[in-house]
Chain A
Amino acid sequence: KAGVTQTPRYLIKTRGQQVTLSCSPISGHRSVSWYQQTPGQGLQFLFEYFSETQRNKGNFPGRFSGRQFSNSRSEMNVSTLELGDSALYLCASSGTSGTSSYEQYFGPGTRLTVT
């Protein structure tokens, strides 16, 4: 099976702009989770989508949003970018059966730089 893919891999944006990141999960996986990784805060959970519905949400402002499509692909959007949004954004997918549903498979990440 192909792994989790994320596009784009690198992105440079200016403060105030908005950005959309894309994630394609492993075929058959219905859960997609998003994480933000920064040197100061580490890895923080943003949100999770399962069958096109947001199932969990982390403690991030409303500028961070996401959605999932019927083919399980997911996008996350950040509006009104701030310098502090510069980070590595990681997407992960997981299966749906038993203990394996907890094991997450991560994409390579999108490195976002806000100037």
Chain B
Amino acid sequence: SQQGEEDPQALSIQEGENATMNCSYKTSINNLQWYRQNSGRGLVHLILIRSNEREKHSGRLRVTLDTSKKSSSLLITASRAADTASYFCATARPGSSNTGKLIFGQGTTLQVKP
């Protein structure tokens, strides 16, 4: 069963606007990751934030993590049509034996209109 819930399920914005997606999880984590998936293809790793970090940036991406609320958010600034995709958060439990097991949220489908 999945432990991540994402909000909203779908988001439609105009090019140039910012997109914010939220993720909540249930158990303790080692880290939380965000992935992008285009049209039912393989997932692409975007960013990883560790449980002792609160914010991380990568290009136009900004991720925050609040372990007290068990939640994370992904902000994509100055969105482009090419950002149209599904975005998933995924958590990894503590323990070195859990590195290969990710629990995914339901995903947010983002549409960026030109």
Contacts and interface: CB of A to CB of B under 8 A. Distances in A.
The interface size bin for chain B is: 20 to 34
The interface size bin for chain A is: 20 to 34
B48 A102 contact: yes
B31 A107 contact: no
B59 interface: no
Contacts of B90: 43
A100 to B, nearest CB: 9
Q: At the interface, is chain A mostly helix, strand, loop or mixed?
A: strand
Interface of A: 4, 31-33, 35, 37, 41-45, 48, 50, 55-56, 58-59, 88, 90, 92, 94, 99, 101-109, 111
The 7 closest A-B pairs by CB, nearest first: A48-B100, A106-B42, A43-B104, A31-B100, A56-B101, A106-B43, A101-B99
Given A41-B2, A42-B105, A94-B99, 17 more contacts: A31-B99, A31-B100, A32-B100, A37-B40, A43-B107, A44-B104, A45-B101, A45-B103, A59-B1, A90-B42, A102-B31, A103-B33, A103-B45, A104-B102, A106-B43, A109-B41, A111-B40
